[in-house]
Amino acid sequence: MSLKHNLVQISDTHLFSDKNLSLKGSNTYSNLKKTIEAVSRLKEKPELVLLTGDLSQDYTPESYKHLKELLEPLKIKYYLLPGNHDDVRIINKVFQYNWVKDQVDYSFEYNEWFFYFIDSTVFPNNWGELSDKQLIDFDKMISLKKNIPIIVFMHHHPVPVRSKWIDEMALKNADAFNKIIRKNPQIKAVLFGHVHQVFEEIIDGVFYTSAPATSYQVVPRVDNFAVEKLVPGFKFISLQDNKFSSKVIWV
Ligand SMILES: [Fe+2]
């Protein structure tokens, strides 16, 4: 039996420059602070923290500085992806990245796993889309990794979550993306944020799942936007022996 690796997915933090501001009734700064504290108390220590977009709500350098300051004390390596509420130019300044707008794709091997982060944003639109180049690069890279389990991380949802209002802001060219996913059974899970609700479904043999937001959750499977829960949550992921498992932890 191989070593178990634990990860945490945090999503949709929606921070403001002003730590006292609320979004839909939630103070997003204190929600993230509580979430990070809960992560630091986990008995099974995560090795990585993965943030799947909508880091900021107001595109300010201060909002990203708050994120950085909240993450640093964890002393756990973290990886970010932009969401539709993020400005890559500002993220680059605060985190000293060299990201290119709408093309923040990167991947790496992690122990016996392979992680692919794909940038679904099309700044400044709310919906997502992948360029032809992104799809080609993704297809090429994944085909080279036939014998290693893969997890794909993204912001927008590539499958409908059956809420009309948010499905209108899904990944536009999801069919092209899912076609690549389907022909690569070594892809164990596709993880996303954006939907502010927990979604877990096996579709065509692939596990599609979202992390809850740390900011606020919405009522799932309804046509119109409605806030459901104000408590933050995150996803705890375990990888062992080619097997992906995850659970939601409410804070
Ligand atoms: Fe969001």
What is the Å distance from ligand 1's center to 111 Cα? 30
What is the Å distance from ligand 1's center to 43 Cα? 28
Give residue limits of the domains in the chain: 5-250
What is the Å distance from ligand 1's center to 203 Cα? 23
Omega into 124 within 30° of 0, i.e. cis? yes
CATH match of 5-250 with 3.60.21.10: yes
Name the nearest CA neighbour of 150 among 178, 189, 176, 183: 189
What is the Å distance from ligand 1's center to 10 Cα? 11
User: From CA 244, how far away is CA 117, in angstroms rounded?
Assistant: 17
What is the Å distance from ligand 1's center to 113 Cα? 27
What is the Å distance from ligand 1's center to 49 Cα? 18
User: What's the angle, vertex CA 91, arms to CA 98 and CA 102, rounded to 5?
Assistant: 65
What is the Å distance from ligand 1's center to 107 Cα? 23
- Tell me the pLDDT of the chain (251 aa) as tens digits: 788 999 999 999 999 999 999 999 999 999 999 999 999 999 999 999 999 999 999 999 999 999 999 999 999 999 999 999 999 999 999 999 999 999 999 999 999 999 999 999 999 999 999 999 999 999 999 999 999 999 999 999 999 999 999 999 999 999 999 999 999 999 999 999 999 999 999 998 899 999 999 999 999 999 999 999 889 999 999 999 999 999 999 99
pTM: 0.97
What is the Å distance from ligand 1's center to 15 Cα? 10
